[in-house]
Amino acid sequence: MFPRRRRPILGAAVVYGASRSAAKHEIAKQAERDMQTEAEIRMAEDRRQREEAERQRQQQAAIDQAVAREREQNERRRREDEERMQQLTVDAAIAKSMQQQLPPMNMHLGMQQPQPPINVNMQPPPQLGQPPTQMDVQRLVSSGSPASFHGAMEVRYCPSCGTGCKKTDRFCAGCGYKLAPLALHEC
């Protein structure tokens, strides 16, 4: 006969229930996605904080190493200075004892009294901007260091202001004075 008709109220209730159930599932899925996104954000923030802490730890370790290295260098310099001072004291004592052991020379025979030895290492350095004196050159030569002797020979002084210039310079670094070119035998 005639097909049976559904009741309209029942059909609306079924549709409403299905859509409500689907909405609940969708809300649950969205909540799960939100929680997962929040967890990823927290993990990324934790990772960033760990990396920052590690970077700071490495920087602090590098600073500590540099401070320790500088402390060791200062300690080594201090010990070297102490050793040099002890050596100078010993050298001065030896020179004094040798001077005392020398017999005095007679003045009536025309001989002169011996002069005390001059310690050229104790002379003050030349003033900045002043050309070296003969004593300064002798001190550099007698120091025995080829580097210091070589360094002294590669410098010339401005006739205008006295600033030390390289032999290859054409103008004074201090006042701009044009330096005379050097002859080949002076280089």
User: What residues of the chain score a pLDDT lower than 70?
Assistant: 1-19, 102-153, 183-187
Distances (CA, A) of 54 to 50, 62, 67, 125, 155: 6, 12, 20, 50, 51
For residue 6, what pLDDT is reported? 56
Give residue 148's pLDDT.
Answer: 46
Structure tokens that stand for 40 in this block = 């990823």
CB-based contact 114:102 (threshold 8 Å): yes
Q: What is the pLDDT of residues 28-80, one digit of tens each?
A: 999 999 999 999 999 999 999 999 999 999 999 999 999 999 999 999 999 99
pLDDT of residue 147: 43
Q: Is the pTM above the cut of 0.85?
A: no
Identify the pLDDT of residue 57.
96
Rounded to whole angstroms, the Cα distance separating 115 from 136 reads: 20
Question: What b/e string do you get for 11-28 counting C-beta neighbours within 10 Å, with b at 16 or more?
Answer: eeeeeeeeeeeeeeeeee
In this prediction, residue 140 carries a pLDDT of 55
C-beta of residue 157 within 8 angstroms of C-beta of residue 131 = yes
CA distance 11 to 6: 7
